[in-house]
């Protein structure tokens, strides 16, 4: 449900913190699931934790969202090996959340109603332009995300008690100064390294790939070449603009809106003022205040204010006698506005301090607030009237559509006629990728590939696609994912086999080169035999971006050199191999940067705290009875 709220608000990330953010750190350390029981569960449950079931739709919804994100990022279907890992991760995340929920309930963690309400009212999506909680805005945001105030209130309460648990575990962890120093030195260690890289493509060779090998690879790895599940569907949509064009207010309608809301159509009071600005140069506040005081005294003595502004003022208005023109109260917040709107015509105030310096202010003229005539605001009223009425009609039709579909109305044509919708069809709508003109929102994916729509032939929806558009859908045909014909993926398999050949060749060459290094041959000699120029020796840190990540990791996993260089090999992310020598080690001196030392020590303490949380979660997992249903994603 929390994920639904977040997605429903289309990019507003307030719930990433409100509910899941605080326990997210534990997911990073969750690890594998080999210790869990994979016994079968009912189709309605994704997992069971200490006898408490986790609804299947929470897992399938998360999976649909994961597929959509993958498609948008990579433009392809998820590879089979990745699919299994991602699905398992989804189940793990749901299980860990349920474990923590049960633990905080058993331990009777509590928060007050006022604390929950304060957190609820602090959600940015629920605040108006002035940053104040707006109940109507909150209800609308929740309506769009298809949840209730009570549901969010309860989940906010749960998050606050989870925060208590996490703070307790983290705050109880500590690290002694000697250990902190050792870890800081380790974190800032630098090693001198020299290496050569054996690019995989050098070892591919010119021999063609045997067709038997292509067929064998295809037969063994067919699930890597799956088509994306898709459907053909008909849809009908309603847009707010369609309804707005049908709203035709009468003059009486517009006049009534004007009469009922005259207070909203006011010209604010405006004041014409002049000022003298004395800036504060450096730290000489007293000198600026004294100069402003002198200008104020002269103005109150009757001297011409415009001439005084030309004499003393330093801003762009000085040449025009300090004339600021007519000003509304909202244009000048703070002491300047307070002083100006507290004056009578002809009075002078000051010195008034602002971020620009000290001001002396004179009020020249007042234009009182007055109502705008009907003709001046008629166009504005007409536009707002059409918008309000069309929104009312849009909301009413959405509710009526939902009611009709809930009662089992599966006739898309009849619904289209009854609710004046616009028809359309899509020949190929991909799971995870969607299709234009409907896009691929998670809510739309959930409905299109739901059992009711996909298998039972029902009309699905209405599904909001933004604030001003909704659709209903009906699947006309379904194409399950299947292995692509070998002819279609032949060239891809050949490329993969050539890559594998190159990787294997690079690995063999690296092993041979490493043996030569260990027998006493120099890196320069080994590099020359391979026709490779070695990188010059240099010191690198654990976070040095100039070194490939896999190579950097291997360099710091190797033993420290003890008077003799350490030779090792590493396989890089692109399949190439590297041979390197670690010749020296040193600890970077950060004594000259105490702020960095403090920051790193704080990070180490946080890491220790996270370790305590990890251990706590692992212990909960070890003791709990957990049953998974991996087949939940096959529904």
pLDDT band at 126 (very low <50, low <70, confident <90, very high): confident
First and final CA of the chain: distance in angstroms? Answer: 19
pLDDT band at 46 (very low <50, low <70, confident <90, very high): confident
Q: Which range (108-122, 199-213, 333-347) has the least confidence?
A: 108-122
Give 45's strand partners: 55
pLDDT at 175: 62
Q: Is the pLDDT of residue 249 over 90?
A: no
Q: Which contiguous run of DSSP H or E holds residue 626?
A: strand 626-628
Right CATH for 266-371 from 3.10.50.40, 3.90.700.10, 3.40.50.10140, 3.30.1950.10: 3.10.50.40
Largest CA distance in the chain: 106
* Rounded Cα gap, residues 552 and 533, in angstroms: 19
Q: Which contiguous run of DSSP H or E holds residue 448?
A: helix 442-448
Q: Is the pLDDT of residue 505 over 90?
A: yes
Domain ranges of the chain: 2-183+615-634, 189-210+486-587, 230-248+384-479, 266-371
What six digits make up the tokens of 421? 């919708």
* Rounded Cα gap, residues 162 and 501, in angstroms: 51
Q: Is the pLDDT of residue 319 over 90?
A: no
* Rounded Cα gap, residues 172 and 374, in angstroms: 67
CATH class name, domain 2-183+615-634: mainly alpha
User: Are the CB atoms for 474 and 410 separated by under 8 Å?
Assistant: yes
Q: Is the pLDDT of residue 267 over 80?
A: no
Name the one residue in this structure whose structure tokens are 């210790």.
35
Name the one residue in this structure whose structure tokens are 């279609």.
488
Instruction: Compute the average pLDDT of residues 116-144.
Output: 77
CA-to-CA separations, 143 to 19, 149, 156, 464, in angstroms, rounded: 18, 9, 17, 11
Name the one residue in this structure whose structure tokens are 């691929």.
440
The closest of 68, 87, 57 to 451, measured between CA atoms, is 57
Cα 86 to chain centroid, rounded: 19
Instruction: Compute the average pLDDT of residues 299-306.
Output: 91
Query: Residue 93: helix, strand or coil by DSSP?
Result: helix
pLDDT tens-digit series, residues 525-564: 999 999 999 999 999 988 888 899 999 999 999 999 988 8
pLDDT at 475: 95
Return all residues near 527 (Cβ < 8 A) that are at least 6 apart: 196, 533, 534
Give 334's strand partners: none
User: Are the CB atoms for 121 and 113 separated by under 8 Å?
Assistant: no
Q: Is the pTM of this model over 0.85?
A: no
Strands (E), 374-492: 422-430, 460-464, 469-479
Q: Is the pLDDT of residue 17 over 50?
A: no
pLDDT at 487: 94
* Rounded Cα gap, residues 468 and 103, in angstroms: 43
What six digits make up the tokens of 445? 């994916």
DSSP string, 491-549: HHHHHHHHHHHHHHHHHHHHHHHHHHHHTT--HHHHHHHTT-PPPPPEEEETT-TTS-H
Instruction: Compute the average pLDDT of residues 389-414.
Output: 87
Question: Could you tell me what percent of the chain has a pLDDT over 70?
Answer: 83
What six digits make up the tokens of 289? 């205040």
Residue 151 has a CB neighbour count (10 Å cut-off) of 16
pLDDT at 407: 83
Residue 106 has a CB neighbour count (10 Å cut-off) of 9
Q: Is the pLDDT of residue 491 over 90?
A: yes
pLDDT at 39: 46
pLDDT band at 524 (very low <50, low <70, confident <90, very high): very high
Q: Is the pLDDT of residue 32 over 80?
A: no
Q: Which range (88-97, 105-114, 208-217) has the least confidence?
A: 105-114
Residue 581 has a CB neighbour count (10 Å cut-off) of 21
Higher pLDDT pick, 243 / 9: 243
Q: Do domains 2-183+615-634 and 266-371 have the same CATH topology?
A: no
């Amino acid at each position: 449900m929390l994920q639904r709220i977040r997605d429903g608000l289309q990019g507003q990330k307030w719930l990433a913190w409100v509910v899941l953010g605080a326990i997210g750190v534990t997911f990073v350390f969750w690890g594998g699931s080999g210790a869990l029981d994979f016994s079968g569960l009912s189709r309605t449950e994704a997992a069971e934790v200490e006898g408490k079931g986790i609804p299947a739709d929470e897992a399938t919804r998360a999976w649909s969202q994961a597929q959509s994100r993958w498609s948008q990022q990579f433009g392809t279907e998820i590879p089979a090996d990745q699919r299994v890992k991602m699905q398992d991760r989804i189940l793990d995340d749901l299980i860990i959340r349920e474990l923590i929920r049960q633990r905080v309930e058993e331990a009777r963690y509590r928060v007050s109603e006022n604390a929950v309400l304060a957190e609820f009212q602090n959600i940015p999506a629920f605040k108006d332009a002035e940053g104040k909680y707006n109940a109507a805005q909150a209800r609308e945001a929740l309506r769009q995300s298809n949840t209730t105030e009570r549901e969010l209130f309860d989940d906010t309460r749960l998050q606050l008690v989870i925060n208590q648990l996490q703070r307790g575990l983290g705050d109880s962890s500590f690290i002694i100064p000697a250990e902190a120093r050792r870890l800081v030195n380790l974190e800032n260690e630098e090693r001198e390294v020299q290496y050569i890289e054996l690019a995989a493509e050098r070892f591919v060779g010119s021999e063609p790939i045997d067709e038997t090998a292509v067929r064998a690879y295809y037969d063994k790895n067919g699930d890597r070449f799956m088509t994306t599940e898709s459907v053909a569907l008909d849809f009908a949509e309603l847009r707010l603009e369609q309804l707005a064009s049908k709203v035709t207010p009468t003059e009486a309608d517009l006049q009534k809106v004007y009469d009922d809301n005259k207070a909203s159509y006011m010209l604010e009071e405006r004041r014409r003022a002049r000022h003298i600005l004395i800036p504060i140069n450096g730290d000489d506040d007293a000198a600026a205040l004294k100069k402003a005081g002198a200008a104020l005294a002269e103005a109150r003595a009757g001297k011409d204010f415009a001439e005084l502004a030309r004499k003393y003022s330093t801003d762009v208005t000085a040449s025009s006698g300090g004339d600021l023109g007519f000003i509304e109260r909202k244009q000048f917040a703070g002491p300047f506005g307070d002083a100006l709107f507290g004056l009578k015509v002809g009075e002078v105030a000051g010195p008034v301090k602002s971020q620009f310096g000290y001001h002396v202010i004179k009020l020249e003229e007042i234009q009182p607030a007055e109502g705008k005539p009907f003709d001046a605001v008629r166009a504005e009223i007409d536009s707002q009237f059409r918008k309000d009425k069309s929104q009312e009609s849009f909301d009413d039709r959405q509710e009526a559509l939902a009611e009709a579909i809930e009662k089992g109305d599966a006739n898309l044509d009849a619904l289209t006629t009854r609710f004046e919708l616009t028809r359309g069809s899509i020949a190929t709508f991909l799971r995870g990728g969607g299709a234009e003109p409907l896009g691929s929102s998670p809510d739309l994916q959930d409905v299109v590939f739901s059992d009711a729509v996909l298998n039972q032939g029902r009309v699905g929806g209405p599904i909001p696609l933004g604030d001003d558009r909704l659709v209903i859908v009906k699947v006309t045909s379904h194409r399950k994912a299947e292995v692509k014909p070998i002819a279609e993926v032949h060239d891809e398999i050949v490329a993969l086999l050539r890559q594998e050949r190159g990787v294997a060749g690079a690995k063999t060459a690296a092993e041979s080169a490493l043996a030569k290094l260990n027998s006493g041959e120099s890196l320069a000699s080994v590099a020359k035999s391979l026709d490779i120029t070695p990188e010059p020796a240099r010191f690198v840190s654990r976070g040095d971006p100039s070194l490939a990540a896999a190579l950097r990791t291997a360099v710091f996993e190797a033993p420290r050199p003890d008077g003799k260089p350490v030779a090792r090999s590493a396989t890089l992310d692109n399949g190439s191999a590297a041979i390197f020598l670690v010749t020296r080690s040193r600890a970077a001196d950060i004594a000259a940067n105490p702020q960095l030392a403090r920051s790193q020590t704080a990070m180490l303490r946080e890491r220790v705290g996270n370790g305590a949380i990890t251990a706590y979660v692992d212990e909960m997992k070890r003791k709990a009875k957990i049953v998974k249903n991996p087949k939940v994603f096959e529904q």
